[in-house]
Amino acid sequence: MDADVIVVGGGVIGTAIAWRAATAGRDTVLLDPGEAAEKASEVAAGMLAPVSESVFGEENLLALNLRALDRFPSFAEELEAAAGFHVGLRTEGTLNVALDSGDLAALRRMGEFRRGIGLPAEEVTGRECRRLEPFLASNVAGGLLAKGDLSVDNRRYTRTLRAAAARAGVREMTGRATAIDGGTVHTPERTITAATVVAAPGNGVTRLDGIPGPVRKAIRPVKGQILRVRHPGTIPPVATRTIRAMVVGREAYLVPREDGEIVIGATQEERADRDITVGAVHDLLGDARAVLPAVSELILAETSVGLRPGSTDNGPVVGREGEDLIIAAGHFRNGILLSAVTADAVTALLDGKDPAPEWAPFTPGRFQ
């Protein structure tokens, strides 16, 4: 037996789980393919905005995401204390803006919905929008200020998780798991064993022998292209809050970081390649300019692609699958947001307890 727990997958989910397992005193191995560019969490925008992200008919997922939003700050605080540095959590909230009266009506409905579930949602006029965010387009007709929404610098967050995991004694190994068999994990280079294996390989789940077929079939990569822009020295910050809008039927968002970077996202494409395409970059830049014209003067610093692991019902897949296997996969667009409560759920499962009730609809068994 090489460890108490082997966590397969070094993305945000696997690393969060490994940190918590080691903190609870378990001898933990984190098996990571080691290619940061392949991790959806490295490409994410880091919005923690369950309501803005919610879709009608996904009430179970919304309930889980709301639990995740509630949990995130305390998790981040403990993480920062453990690692000794900050994750770049921003609490200025989200300003959803409308560029025409149809969008404004939709925002009003979203406001009612948010308030109905007890979340802050303040209706603001176009003028108030521009007072809050002076660089907004002059045709912004009105908005909805979601003070409860958070965002986190996804790359600082995963770096912090990794540092905390190392400090807690997690042993990181480089390797790509090909099969799980009982408590044994096979890679092309080696075989390691533990009392429990936690499979958190993102899209890798589809190529991992030992994961039940229905789970493997339920998950597929969803391509997202995303941009990062930076301020040249001559230009003051053009955004304080996360800004979201519908632009010609596409959801556009701009997520500002403490260091002056703004993340602009994102496409959602049912494909698995990593090509940065002319059409996607053009659309994203156009949407961003439509909402915040001053971004025209900013520096296009990065174009990147993430392959988000989406399940057939858009929900994550977390639960036990036999004596020695726990699955934590399929986090789709909510990997960063759900990382804290996923680590909590896996901690409970390792302790032989039930995860929080919001997890009940998201077991691997639902696909059988």
Using CB under 8 A, list all residues that contact a copy of itself: 229, 232, 273, 275-279, 281-282, 285-286, 288-289, 295-301, 303
Helix 12-23, helix 59-83: angle, nearest 10: 60
Nearest to a copy of itself of 187, 303 (CB atom): 303
State the burial class of residue 167 (Cβ atoms within 10 Å of its Cβ: 0-12, 13-18, 19+): middle
Nearest distance from C-beta of residue 244 to a copy of itself, angstroms: 18
Give me the least distance between CB of 242 and a copy of itself, in Å please.
18
Cβ closest to a copy of itself, residue 109 vs residue 282: 282
Following DSSP, what letter does each residue of 171-226 receive, concatenated? EEEE----EEETTEEE-SS-EEEEEEEEE--GGGGGG-BTS-HHHHHHEEEEEEEE
Nearer to a copy of itself, 131 or 282 (CB): 282
Task: Identify which of 43, 44, 36 has the alpha carbon closest to the alpha carbon of residue 9.
Answer: 36
Q: For residues 184 and 303, which CB has a smaller minimum distance to a copy of itself in the complex?
A: 303
- Whole-Å CA distances, 206 to 182, 189, 323: 18, 20, 21
- 118 vs 234, which CB is nearer to a copy of itself? 234
State the minimum distance, in angstroms, from the CB of residue 306 to a copy of itself: 16
Q: How far is the CB of 246 from a copy of itself (least distance, A)?
A: 19
Task: Give the residue among 34, 11, 49, 4 at the shortest CA–CA distance from 253.
Answer: 49
Closest distance of CB 238 from a copy of itself, Å: 11
Which residue has tokens 């092309």?
188
The C-alpha atoms of residue 237 and residue 346 are separated, in whole angstroms, by 40
Question: Of the two residues 188 and 232, which places its CB atom closer to a copy of itself in the complex?
Answer: 232
The nearest distance, CB 207 to a copy of itself, in angstroms, is 22
Cα distance between residue 211 and residue 219, in whole Å: 12
What's CA 228's distance to the chain center, in Å?
A: 16
Q: Are strands 325-329 and 317-320 parallel, antiparallel or unpaired?
A: antiparallel
179 vs 247 by CB, closer to a copy of itself:
247
The residue length of the chain stands at 368
In the complex, what is the shortest distance from the CB of residue 301 to a copy of itself, in angstroms, rounded to a whole number?
8
